[in-house]
Chain A
Amino acid sequence: MVQVTSPAFKQNAARALADAGLQKALGKAKGAFLQRRAEAVARLPEFEQLRDIGRDIKNHTLANLDFYLETYAANVEGAGGTVHWCSTAEDARAAVLEICRKAGARTVTKGKSMISEEIGINDHLEAHGITPVETDLGEYIIQLRREHPSHIIAPAFHLNREDWEADFRRMHTDLDPNRVFNERRDILTEARTRLRDRFLAADVGITGANFLIAETGSSVIVTNEGNGDLTQTLPRVHIALASIEKVVPTLEDATSLLRLLARSATGQDFSVYTTFSTGGRRPGDLDGPEEYHVVLIDNGRSNMIGSEFQDMLRCIRCAACMNHCPVYGATGGHAYGWVYPGPMGSVLTPSLVGIDKAAQLPNASTFCGKCESVCPVKIPLPNLMRHWREREFERHLTPGAMRRGLGLWAWFAKRPQAYRIATRAAIGALGLLGRGKGAFRSLPLAGGWTAGRDLPVPEGGTFMARYAQQQRKR
């Protein structure tokens, strides 16, 4: 499993802000997603209605999740596939390894899948002598660098073109070291050529799933490159990894959600390849895998059902929330310290790894509300982060200084007379101290504020005093 470094969010973020390469990459990428999404939404006048529909489909499914999971599994089996129910990441790793061993697999190609990061399948396979090969372009370079994705749909969001060129020269040592990459396309072509042989040699192909369809027992992947399709078509065995909340009732339900997904994610009207897989090769088929397995993973999600975090299970992993998040835009994804970054990660990570390890994440938000306003299934992300902050406080995970500060503020807030006297005194004192200065560059006890910006010197009386004055004038 990916090591959790979320407790060090502040240090991670400070490092990210000082990383010139990362800041360059973030600066370049930031605007692109936003503009393309806005244009795609503008082209579809029904987009807002579709968001309500998407939310309702997911809510209906979650309210009947047991029924839809059983129906889905029965239909996979009816189509000749096998469903492996896995409560934990460990169960899922064991199930994948067993399928690979039975298939006599030496290399495994992989389509992009966040759940595969969550269960840490690559390390597990490698430890058991099986070579996993990431085939999504972004995932491929991440694997070369032995990193983890920094974004759920654009894993190499944090890299610049120069990084790609340097890594390809470093890793593809059989090619001319002095070759020239004139355009981005040359990088793409080199990866395409490299990976083609890996596709053909693989014994097993592992993909994720954007949706599971109960009606037909299908798993759906949505990609632009075609790597996911090569992964699930060429090897003798296809394994689809999916968490339990991916199921939807019918093709029509999936279709409505698909109208939201690509527009919210990349700003495309539809992704290039949206592929529905149902069982293995049929009699007469000339290609496709002979075996089809679904590894169906809970790993903490069933605990979210019936809790105040159930809404998070509507997530379709489009990444609109992180694309629009000012905090993500400043720090990038790695600072969040686990698999899922950005606002959706700040809600999901505490649910899956525990609030004790991830308490910083729900606090890494300005509560500007942009994430909720762009979420295609209307997840109230700021509200869910607020719930986590409450739990954090209840469980005494909040740092002592902050607890004492909040306690002090609460004491005054409950006593209006005392509050007015105290603020009048404080503002008067600050006004005297800063007379003629305009602003404080530093101030005892306010280092957290003045480290990043000046504190203006208060002018005139408190708000309440001015308000009373105004009222008297009338």
Chain B
Amino acid sequence: MSKDAILGAVRRGLKRGPLPADQRAMLEGRLATHPRHLIPARSRVPRPEQIALFIRNVEKEFGTVARVADADAIPGAIADYLAQQNLEPRFVLAPHPDLAALPWANRPLLRFEARRAAPSDAVSVQHGFAAIAETGTLMLPSDATRPTTLNLLAETEIVVLRSSRIVGAYEEAWDILRRERSDPVTSGFMPRNVMLVTGPSRSADIEQTLELGAHGPRRLHIVLVEDDPAETPGVGPSHDPAAAKSDAPVAPPAEGDRAATAKPARPRRAKGRTDSTTPPGA
């Protein structure tokens, strides 16, 4: 049988038989603890700077970001964006309870259906599970509330993301997934599909010159809802360098929390403001 033949050939090359029990146990331990390696310093910064880094990186990769003060402002932000882009106010919506709970009635011209995407959909609105500041990357795991086709078929993808779900490094996003998800088939945490998305689709296959809009979305727009107490002046702990030492990093709220019940409206922060220099957990 091929399996035995391949494993046998590998072992012959390694000049040993199957691993002894103690070495297997060691490797199983490594899998169970999944140790981190080096995490680049660029994302080891206080919360406000992490969020600013995320936005900078999204924009560097040709995505766009609109910041809104609370969940109630999301339908308006979506309507405004579609109008600016000269797009019809019509989209496919991720069937996620956070999104269903938004005050859509405030924008009666918006037409949407909550389902998987169809080839005829021009715009999709996806639910952002988490995001990674290091490279401006969205983490979009598939499940019944977050269909994968929403990330692929429409020309314009809009992702609703809470700022408390932005982490510095990929490893921290994996930790959120490990903590919050339980898969019905494997009882592990990995869903069928996890997409890490960094900007809109593109290709450089013609003369190694970058063109946006290959097979996936041509536009990627993020509506960022400010719900992180740590990022607002005077509210969060990490804004006070002394407090940051003991308190940050702030654990993101659980996935089950509804964006609609997020913190009340507060003034919008200036973009990219960096008045704190103490790294979290320093």
Most chain-A CB neighbours within 10 Å: which of B12, B142, B184, B206?
Answer: B206
Known: A188-B214, A280-B192. Contact between A65 and B10, CB under 8 A?
yes
Q: Hey, which chain A residues are within 8 Å of B37, CB to CB?
A: 50, 53, 57, 252-253, 255-256
User: In the docked arrangement, what's the CA distance between A306 and B16, Å?
Assistant: 11
- Cβ B143 vs Cβ A282 within 8 A: yes
Whole-angstrom CA separation of A251 from B190 in the bound complex: 11
Contact call B199/A298, Cβ cutoff below 8 A: no
Q: How far is the CA of A341 from the CA of B202 in the complex (A)?
A: 25
Q: Residues of A contacting B174 with CB < 8 Å?
A: 251-252, 255
Q: Interface residues of A toward B: which range?
A: 35 or more
Nearest-Cβ distance from residue B188 to partner chain A, whole angstroms:
7
The stretch from A66-74, A349-357, A368-376 touching chain B is A66-74
CB contacts (< 8 Å) of A283 on chain B: these are 184-185
Query: How near does chain A come to B135, taking the closest CB pair, in angstroms?
Result: 4
B80 an interface residue at 8 Å Cβ cutoff? no
Is there contact, CB below 8 Å, between B196 and A274?
Answer: yes
Q: Report the stretch among B145-153, B160-168, B246-254, B270-278 that lies at the interface.
A: B145-153
Q: How far is the CA of A57 from the CA of B61 in the complex (A)?
A: 29
Whether the Cβ atoms of B148 and A288 lie closer than 8 Å is: yes
Q: Does B95 touch A at the CB level, under 8 Å?
A: yes
* Bound CA–CA A339/B253 (angstroms): 49
Is B13 within 8 A of A307, CB to CB? yes
Contact yes or no, A85 B38, CB < 8 A: no
- Residues of A contacting B171 in the complex (Cβ-Cβ under 8 angstroms): 252, 255
- 25 A-B pairs with CB atoms under 8 Å apart are A32-B209, A45-B40, A50-B38, A64-B27, A68-B27, A70-B7, A85-B3, A86-B2, A91-B2, A161-B206, A192-B214, A195-B215, A215-B34, A224-B202, A226-B201, A255-B170, A255-B174, A256-B37, A272-B197, A275-B195, A282-B185, A288-B193, A305-B10, A305-B13, A306-B12
Q: Are B208 and A285 in contact (CB under 8 A)?
A: no
Closest to A310 in B: B13
CA distance A284 to B182 in the complex (A): 14
Q: A252-B35, A273-B197 are in contact. Are A157 and B148 (CB under 8 A)?
A: no
Q: Contact: B38 with A303, CB < 8 Å?
A: no
Among B18, B135, B208, residue most surrounded by chain A Cβ atoms (within 10 Å) = B208
Interface segment, one of A100-108, A134-142, A453-461? A134-142
Residue pair B13, A137 in contact (C-beta under 8 Å):
no
Task: Decide if B137 touches A156 in the complex (CB within 8 Å).
Answer: no
CB-nearest residue of chain B relative to A95? Answer: B2
B residues whose Cβ falls under 8 Å from a Cβ of A: 1-3, 5-7, 9-15, 18-19, 23-24, 27, 30-31, 34-38, 40-42, 57, 61, 95, 115-117, 119, 135, 137, 142-144, 147-149, 151-153, 170-171, 174, 183-186, 188, 190-209, 211, 213-217
- Given A273-B216, A284-B144: A229 and B152 within 8 A (CB)? yes
A161 touching B40, Cβ below 8 Å = no
Q: For A278, give its contact among B14, B34, B190 (CB under 8 Å).
A: B190
Inter-chain contact B147/A285, CB cutoff 8 Å: yes
Contact call B144/A286, Cβ cutoff below 8 A: yes
- What residues of chain B lie closer than 8 Å to A155, measured between beta carbons? 205
Which residues in B have their C-beta under 8 angstroms from that of A97?
Answer: none
Known A269-B135, A276-B193: A192·B215 in contact at CB below 8 Å:
yes
A383 interface residue per 8 A CB criterion: no
- Residues from chain B with a CB closer than 8 A to the CB of A161 are 206-207
- B30→A249 contact, CB < 8 A: yes
Cα of A273 to Cα of B19 in the assembled complex, Å = 36
Q: Give the residue of A50, A79, A91 whose beta carbon is less than 8 angstroms from that of B190.
A: A79
- In the complex the two chains form, is A258's CB within 8 Å of B186's CB? no
Bound CA span A202–B11, Å: 39
> B119: which A residues are within 8 A, CB to CB?
196, 200
Residue from A226, A252, A253, A259 with most neighbouring chain B CB atoms (10 Å): A226
C-alpha spacing A200/B144, complex, angstroms: 21
| A residues lining the B interface (CB < 8 Å) | 25, 28-29, 32-33, 44-46, 49-50, 53, 57, 63-71, 73, 75, 78-80, 85-87, 91, 135-138, 141, 154-157, 159-161, 164, 184-185, 187-189, 192, 195-196, 199-200, 214-218, 224-227, 229-230, 233-234, 244, 249-253, 255-256, 258-259, 266, 268-288, 296, 298, 302-307, 310
Cβ–Cβ contact A244 & B6, under 8 A? yes
Q: Is the CB of B214 within 8 A of A137?
A: yes
Let me know if A137 and B213 touch, CB within 8 A.
no
Q: How far is the CB of B178 from chain A (nearest CB, A)?
A: 9
14 new A-B contacts, CB < 8 A, other than A64-B27, A161-B207, A305-B9, are A75-B188, A85-B6, A138-B205, A187-B206, A215-B34, A218-B194, A226-B217, A252-B37, A269-B61, A270-B198, A278-B194, A286-B116, A303-B9, A310-B13
In the complex formed, the residue of A with least CB distance to B155 is A192
The 5 closest A-B pairs by CB, nearest first: A226-B216, A305-B13, A306-B13, A225-B214, A302-B9
Q: How far is the CA of A139 from the CA of B64 in the complex (A)?
A: 30
A272–B198 CB distance below 8 A: yes
Residue in A71, A157, A285 whose CB lies within 8 Å of B192: A285
Q: Looking at the assembled complex, report how far the CB atom of B77 sits from the nearest CB atom of chain A, in whole angstroms.
A: 24
Q: In the complex, are the beta carbons of B6 and A53 less than 8 A apart?
A: no
Q: Are B38 and A282 in contact (CB under 8 A)?
A: no
A184–B205 Cα distance when bound, in Å, is: 10
- Distance in Å from the Cβ of B133 to the closest Cβ of chain A? 12
CB nearest to A68 among chain B residues = B27
Chain A residue numbers with a CB within 8 Å of B61 are: 269, 272
**A361 to chain B: closest CB distance in Å?**
23
Known contacts A85-B6, A230-B152, A286-B116; is A67 also within 8 Å of B201 by CB?
A: no
Chain B contacts for A276, CB-based, 8 A: 190, 193-196
Q: Cβ of A137: which chain B residues have Cβ within 8 Å of it?
A: 203, 205-206, 214
